[in-house]
Amino acid sequence: MTNGNGAPTLDATPAQFGVLVQYTKDFSFENPNAPASLTQQGQQPAVSVQINVGATNLGGPDFEVALTTEVKAEINGSVLFALELIYAGIFRIENMPSENLHPFVMIECPRLLFPFVREIVATTTRNGGFPPVWLEPVDFVGLYRQNMARQAEQFKPS
């Protein structure tokens, strides 16, 4: 469609995005071998980190996006600490083209939540008696692509 001068008309309303609320949905920190685990700080623990993204449409333009983070530190098979955190936010996304909505929810929303998750993990591990664990930045685009490829494989006809 043009405006009579050959220029296209802009009928589409621009996309709008807002963070309605952020919150800790579930949280656990275990220091099962304290105080013995606190005396092993001279050794380098094996630290594993798992981060996953989940999203739920709450109806209309509102989405709950949750970052599930698990951090575990072990020395010689003995658990020093285990942390599990689900940190979520409710986002309102309006006038987003449908082909862009899913990637936006699964990439941009967790990107906004991640700094808060990083701070909670570092503060909790420090308050648990250990050096703070600073999570490395997450490539949410790469994580999204991996998840989409995994889903495509699952639904591939045999």
Q: What are phi and psi of 122, to 5 degrees?
A: -65, -45
**Residue 121 belongs to domain spanning:** 16-132
Q: What are phi and psi of 157, to 5 degrees?
A: -65, 145
For residue 1, is it within any domain?
no
For residue 3, is it within any domain?
no
Kind of pairing, strands 78-94 and 16-30? antiparallel
Facing residues of 124 across strands?
Answer: none
How many domains does the structure of the chain reveal? 1
For residue 89, is it within any domain?
yes
Q: How confident is the model at residue 77 (pLDDT cuts 50, 70, 90)?
A: confident
Chain segment 8-65, per-residue pLDDT in tens = 555 568 889 999 999 999 999 999 988 887 776 677 889 999 999 999 999 999 999 9
**Where does residue 68 rank: exposed (0-12), middle (13-18), buried (19+ CB within 10 A)?**
middle
Chain segment 110-148, per-residue pLDDT in tens = 999 999 999 999 999 999 999 999 999 999 999 999 988
Non-local (6+) Cβ contacts of 148 within 8 A are none
For residue 77, is it within any domain?
yes
What is the pLDDT at residue 76?
85
Q: Quick one: average pLDDT of 71-97? A: 94
Q: Which residue has the higher pLDDT, 9 or 107?
A: 107
CATH number at residue 60: 3.10.420.10
Mean pLDDT highest for which of 11-15, 67-71, 147-151, 152-156?
Answer: 67-71
- Radius of gyration, CA atoms only, the chain: 21
For residue 38, is it within any domain?
yes
DSSP state of 135: P
pLDDT at 1 over 70: no
Q: Quick one: average pLDDT of 71-86? A: 94
Q: Return the closest-CA partner of residue 51 out of 121, 100, 102.
A: 121
For residue 91, is it within any domain?
yes
**Where does residue 88 rank: exposed (0-12), middle (13-18), buried (19+ CB within 10 A)?**
buried
For residue 11, is it within any domain?
no
For residue 105, is it within any domain?
yes
pLDDT at 150 over 70: yes
